[in-house]
Amino acid sequence: MKAMMSHEPGGPETLKFTEIETPEPGPGQVRIAVKAAGVNFPDTLIIRDLYQFKPPRPFAPGGEVAGVIEALGEGVTGLAEGDRVIAGGINGGFATHFIADAARVNKIPDAMPFDEAAAFMLTYGTSHYALKNRANLQPGESLFILGAAGGVGAAAIELGKAFGAKVVAGVSSEDKAAFCKELGADETLVYPRELDRDGQKALSGEIKKLCGGEGANVVYDAVGGDYAEPAVRALAWEGRFLVVGFPAGIPKIPLNLTLLKSCQIVGVFWGAFTMRNPKLNADYVAELFRFYEEGKIKPRVTATYPLEDAANALDLLQSRKATGKVVLSV
C-alpha cells in the first residue's frame, strides 16, 4: 500500500509518499480500500506534534476515510466485504488502505459519493454534538458561528437551520460570506483579519445587532484568538459559548463575563465523546444520515487533491483559504 507518511515533526512539506506493507485486520477490525480521505485542521497539527494525541512515527495523518471493505478480522459481524463505508480515527487516513475497528465503521447510502462521504462524519459529527448535546440549541434561538466557511463551520450552518435557529455566519471575506449564504445562513458578518481593542468592541456590537439586539444565544467558535472575547461579550443572557478550535490561537477569556451574563463556556471534544458514549453517538449518526437523505445537509467539497498532493491540501487549510471541505482522492 501507499501512504503519505510523517517521519519527523514539521509542516506539510515534510510528508513523504511511501510504499509500506499492507496491514491485515486484527480481531474486531476491518481493512478498507480507501477511495477518498477528508482533510481537516487537526491534520495540520498532528504532523507538528501540536495535537492532543501524538502517534508513534512514522505515521500517516488523516482522521476520516470513505471506501470499500476488502477484508474482515475475526469476530466481525454486521459488515461484509464490498460494503461501502466511512470510518475514522486519530490518524492513518492518508493512505490507500485503512484499518478500522468495526464498531467505528458506518455503512453509507448507495447514492452517497465517496468524496461527500469522506467529508461527512468529522465535520457534521462535531457540529451536531456541539449544537445538540453541548449547547442544547432550540428553535428560534440565534446562533453565531466564527469561521463559518470552514468545514465544521459550514456544517454548523446547515445543522443550525435544521434545528430551527437563526444563523449568523462570521467570516473573513466577502467570497466566504457569499458561500455561507448559499448554505442557508440568515445573516453574514465579515470580520477583519486582525483585531485591536476598538475592532473587538465593534465586532461585539455587530454580532449583537445581527443576532437580534439581545445577542447570540449560542456562539460556535472555530477560530479562537482575538475573536473569542468579543464573541463572549456578544452572548445573550444565559448564552452558551462553544469552544471548537483555535486556528487563530488559544484565547484568554475574562471569567467575570460569565458571571455578568450567567453564561456558559462549553468545550466540544467530539472524538472523546464517541469513545465514551458510543450508544448515544450511534443515535446522533443515525440522525445525521436522516438529515442527509432528507436534503437538510450536504457536504460541500470545494477542493480535491490526489493522495500524493496531500501537502498542498494541508497548506490550503492552514492558510485559512479553504471554504467547505477539502478531500484527497485515492
* CATH code assigned at 42: 3.90.180.10
Q: Give me the percent of the chain exceeding a pLDDT of 70.
A: 100
Q: Which domain holds residue 324?
A: 2-120+300-329
Indicate the residue type of 196: D
Q: Give me the percent of the chain exceeding a pLDDT of 90.
A: 88
User: Over the chain, what is the mean pLDDT?
Assistant: 95
pLDDT at 257 over 80: yes
- 85 with 162, same domain? no
Q: What is the pLDDT of residue 213?
A: 80
Pairing of strands 264-267, 84-88: unpaired
| Residues 6+ positions from 313 with CB-CB distance below 8 Å | 12, 39, 303, 305, 326, 328
**Residue with cell string 477518498:** 36
Region 103-116 average pLDDT? 93
- 8 with 99, same domain? yes
Q: What is the pLDDT of residue 319?
A: 83
Region 192-214 average pLDDT? 92
**For residue 127, what pLDDT band results from cuts at 50, 70 and 90?**
very high
C-alpha torsion sign, points 151, 154, 159, 162: negative
Q: What is the pLDDT of residue 321?
A: 79
293 inside domain: no
Q: What is the pLDDT of residue 271?
A: 87
| Residues 6+ positions from 120 with CB-CB distance below 8 Å | 38, 64, 66, 86, 108, 112, 288, 292, 299
CATH of the domain at 177: 3.40.50.720
**For residue 15, what pLDDT band results from cuts at 50, 70 and 90?**
very high
| Among 83, 133, 92, 78, residue whose Cα is nearest residue 274 | 133
CA gap 209, 212 in Å, rounded = 5
| Among 80, 104, 92, residue whose Cα is nearest residue 53 | 92
pLDDT at 178 over 90: yes
- Specify the 3-state DSSP secondary structure of 56: coil
- Specify the 3-state DSSP secondary structure of 2: strand
pLDDT at 14 over 80: yes
Q: Which three cell numbers stand for residue 266?
A: 462549553
- Of the two residues 271 and 205, the one the predictor is more confident about is 205
pLDDT at 313 over 90: yes
Work out how many domains the chain is built from and give that number. Answer: 2
Q: What is the pLDDT of residue 32?
A: 98
Question: Does the model's pTM come out above 0.85?
Answer: yes
133 inside domain: yes
- 127 with 266, same domain? yes
- 108 with 134, same domain? no
Region 299-313 average pLDDT? 95
pLDDT at 52 over 80: yes
pLDDT at 4 over 90: yes
Q: What is the pLDDT of residue 210?
A: 97
Q: What is the pLDDT of residue 320?
A: 76
- 30 with 150, same domain? no
Distances (CA, A) of 302 to 47, 58, 175: 23, 30, 13
- 141 with 50, same domain? no
- Specify the 3-state DSSP secondary structure of 258: helix
Q: Which three cell numbers stand for residue 100?
A: 478500522
